Structure 1
Amino acid sequence: MAAISSTLAEQIEQLYKEHHSWLSIFIQRRLGCPDDTADLIHDTYLRILSSGRLPPKQDSKRFLTHIAKGLLIDNYRRKQIETAYKEYVQHLPENHAPSAEFHMQMIEALTAIDTLLHQLPANVREALLLRQLDNLSYKEIAMRLNVSISSVEKYIAKALQACMEATLEDRI
């Protein structure tokens, strides 16, 4: 993260002072967990810091709400992934249970995949999942999505390109 100007730091501090308690109530009502609430408040202001952008004063609550809602959705998805993974691990023989470190790495990887998939248009995501998870042919996918085979080819190509770009970004 680049260094921020003292003016921007002061403006963010002022934004924090003016809206911290309101934002805390907003998030707490949706989560019900004080620790998670504190983390999401922190992450909200961290996003503002890393973007280097502040909203006009009259739009502050709307701006903070937008960021917080996105973080709440991310948090909800991550919890779903963690729950599903824990259920999967419970069914493994005890000698095959992953270490805590591997468990966290797997949750991070699955969360990254989920984020990538949700950035794709719905038809592109659906086509990729039908191909990779259900092993359907392009013709079967086309029939299921009610599109042409050529559209399915484009969807799969677009999805694979997004996956490749994400892989390359992680290496940089």
Structure 2
Amino acid sequence: MPDQPPHPAVGQFGRDGMRRLDLSGVDATVNDETHAVLEHIGVPVQAAPYFTAAAATDGVTVGMFAGHHGLRVDESRARWVRLGTDGLAHLVVGPDSVVRAVFLDGIAPDMFVNADVSEFGLCLAVLDRRMSVIASSTDLAGGAAASRSAGTEHRQVR
């Protein structure tokens, strides 16, 4: 992976704006491709207001994080990797590579977010790039056009 062109998320957020996860010595259930993306590319540190990466001091797996915060987690999800939060849900990736929003307090069922971590980073880069245009729009038409453009880009992912 290091010899490939930079991932679009790295282009948007910069190398220092990405949180790479070291899964060595952690009993996490992710496949080799997901492991490589998390280790070499990572996830954006922040794509406000949609995502904040897990802190370096957080437990890497959902089970470790839940244990540190007195939360309960179903054993089947305990070894999934916690990427961060959107402020309400925990964004995680499991053995099938799918990124999901999970609610450890059980207030809602898990929700599909993206097909894999690489796609997740790409979508956050699109959101981050388009949010400044939407936020700085001086009229409804400009903001709506930027929003539609972001939607089009998201549908083209993959």
TM-score, L = length of structure 1 = 0.33
Higher RCO structure (Cα 8 Å, ≥6 apart): 2
**Which structure is higher in strand share?**
2
**Which structure is higher in helix share?**
1
TM-score, L = length of structure 2 = 0.36
